[in-house]
Amino acid sequence: MAVQTADAGGDWAPAQRQRRKKQRGQQNQALAGVHSAIHLIGAAEIFRNATRF
């Protein structure tokens, strides 16, 4: 019985870690989306400035 509870405790930590890893992945995806949007806006600005001359 004691071994079972120890196993359950051992299983709990990786699940917690996995959940955190997934959250971090979603945050990174959101940041990447914002980052690429900034790049697209920047490219549009550069293009507009270039075509002005």
pTM for this structure? 0.46
For the chain, the farthest-separated pair of C-alpha atoms sits apart, in whole angstroms, at 79
Closest CA to 7 of 45, 15, 53: 15
CA distances from 3 to 12, 13, 17 (A): 14, 16, 22
Q: What is the pLDDT of residues 1-53, one digit of tens each?
A: 455 555 555 555 677 788 888 888 888 888 888 989 999 999 999 988 888 76
* pLDDT number for residue 2: 52
